[in-house]
Chain A
Amino acid sequence: MTYRNGTGTALARALGWFSIGLGAAELLAPRSLASMLGMQGRERLLQTYGVREVASGMAILAARDPSPWVWSRVAGDALDLATLAPALDESNPRREAAAIAVGAVTAVMLVDLLCTRELSRERERPPPRDYSDRSGFPQGVDRARGIARQPTTAMGG
């Protein structure tokens, strides 16, 4: 299958870089993130998620067809929401921050879903045009081969 560049591809690339950025933050600053969300003690989990994000971002950027990897992001979003849900408990003094994080993950999940839809539309495009009759050589390719072996380099003007 020939993969064609379009809005879905551009969006997938943006999501790939976003994934790498978010993953790097989770990997490098888990303590700050955990403290911000009221999830102290779960720093190791955040770092694991960071590895997942970086891997998923690199796969999106490297794949010829990023669709499966964008779907893996959707699954990751669901996992993130499940992990954040306990932080919404009234006993969490940082629940407002956690609520903001839940909202952000939900928004990103919608963008991920939009991206999978656009990628699917790109694959439905018509087949590429055939330009095999456009040689540019009115007398044929064989006649053109070597026809200018001694190029004229005289100055014009």
Chain B
Amino acid sequence: MRALCYHGKHDIRYDTVPDPEIEHPRDAIVKVSSCAICGSDLHLYDGFMPGMMNGDIIGHEFMGEVVEVGRENRKLKVGDRVVVPFTIVCGECDQCRRGNFSVCERTNRNAEMAAKMFGHSTAGLFGYTHLTGGYAGGQAEYVRVPFADVGPVKVPDGLTDEQVLFLGDILPTGWQAAVHCEIEPTDIVAVWGAGPVGQFCARSALMLGAKQVIVIDNVPERLSMARAGGAITIDFDEESVLERLEDLTAGKGPEKCIDAVGLEAHAGRSIDSMYDRAKQAMMMETDRPHVLREMIYVCRPGGIVSIPGVYGGVVDKIPFGAAMNKGLTFRMGQTHVNRWVDDLLRRIEEGQIDPSFVITHTVPLEHGPEYYDIFRDKHDGCVKVVLKP
């Protein structure tokens, strides 16, 4: 089969690789009908995530048709149309039973390696480094889905791929980030980053009843998309984020702040960003936490800082004194997709939200390598790329 494979920093290739096979009786093989490039794939592409190997199949947002099932899989049958969550979950361990699916205790095949880095292992993920199990990813014609009697979500034929594809990651990621904010009707929610996850954070916050949603970015297309979803926007190239937030909140600061940017903040003109770039170049810091610092500074005392953006290693100069003295609550983590997905599927079916609005480019899988660049550089108005094998 053909798949997009990692061959080093900024080197993704459309390769021919062996077809996947059933390896465990609970497995299934899915023939991919649609997959997408995620912002966190760019962290791999840009070389910020450790544990990638030459030839790894990448991608963790995908859906398709079940073409083979293991003999112990009672949930799926050949022909089922499924969206596959990016987290691989067993459904039986203590964490899965609590709904903490992204920290499943059993699915990471390289648990020891992960525990050395993070203290404990987290769930296995598709196409996302050997620290999270080294599972083959979904930017491919076929994918082996482990524990396929737990994670995959059957979707009705009446909905298009474009409407349901993002149930596997970015829609529940934005939703979880907003739910973590415990939004009240009087809350102003500020979202840093108007990429696909930021767009879903903003729409989720609005649906969950925020009084006002504010989105911060510097890409005109993304800001216009955020405004379409009911948000006020701040272009950090054009105005001071701190001053504008102060104006919009009568000097009190937003009650809830969401970081939908993560480790590769691009606010290049701030002093702390230059500091981060210099430290990163000297390999003294892995992540660039400009957004975290800004959120801690502006968040209203007693507020909540929610972090769906991915961080991978160590950060520096975090104003923790401000965080402690302001009594901020931090909520974060990879998404517990299966905790939210049934509810979100219902909302899509009822027409409350149509996630396809975020797709700006749909191209054949073989064009994937060039679209990594286009997506990363935000060329051609690119917000979200869907690939068709």
Contacts and interface: CB of A to CB of B under 8 A. Distances in A.
Interface in B35-86: none
Nearest to A6: B377
B343 A152 contact: yes
A132 B231 CA distance: 11
Contacts of A155: 99, 338-339
Given A136-B199, A157-B338, A63 B352 contact: no
Contact of B206 (A64, A132, A144): A144
B354 A63 contact: no
A41 to B, nearest CB: 33
A149 B386 CA distance: 31
Given A137-B353, A138-B351, A131 B153 contact: no
A61 B209 contact: no
B159 interface: no
Contacts of B332: none
A61 to B, nearest CB: 6
B246 interface: no
Contacts of A132: 224-225, 227-228
Tell me the interface secondary structure of chain A in the complex. loop
A148 B347 CA distance: 9
A145 B206 contact: yes
A135 B269 contact: no
Given A141-B229, A145-B207, A134 B269 contact: no
B186 to A, nearest CB: 12
Tell me the interface secondary structure of chain B in the complex. helix
A13 interface: yes
Contacts, number: 131
Interface magnitude class on chain A: 35 or more
A2 B209 contact: no
Nearest to A144: B207
B354 A148 contact: no
Interface in B237-294: 237, 268-269, 274, 277, 281
A145 B225 contact: no
Given A136-B355, A144-B206, A144-B230, A157 B383 contact: no
A61 B338 contact: no
Contacts of A64: 237, 269
Contacts of B339: 153, 155-156
A4 B153 CA distance: 39
B220 interface: yes
Nearest to A138: B351
Given A3-B237, A145-B206, A147-B352, A136 B269 contact: no
A10 to B, nearest CB: 9
B150 interface: yes
Contacts of B370: none
A135 B352 CA distance: 11
B352 A128 contact: no
Interface string A1-24: 011111000000100010000000
A13 to B, nearest CB: 7
A118 to B, nearest CB: 13
B89 interface: yes
A134 B228 contact: yes
B185 A134 contact: no
20 contacts: A3-B237, A17-B277, A61-B268, A61-B269, A62-B269, A63-B269, A131-B228, A132-B224, A134-B358, A135-B230, A138-B351, A141-B206, A141-B229, A145-B207, A145-B209, A148-B204, A151-B179, A157-B101, A157-B150, A157-B151
7 shortest interchain CB distances as A-B pairs: A129-B381, A156-B342, A128-B220, A136-B357, A146-B209, A131-B225, A152-B343
Interface of A: 2-6, 13, 17, 58, 61-64, 128-139, 141, 144-149, 151-157
Given A129-B221, A138-B353, A156-B343, 7 more contacts: A5-B377, A5-B378, A128-B219, A131-B381, A136-B354, A146-B206, A157-B150
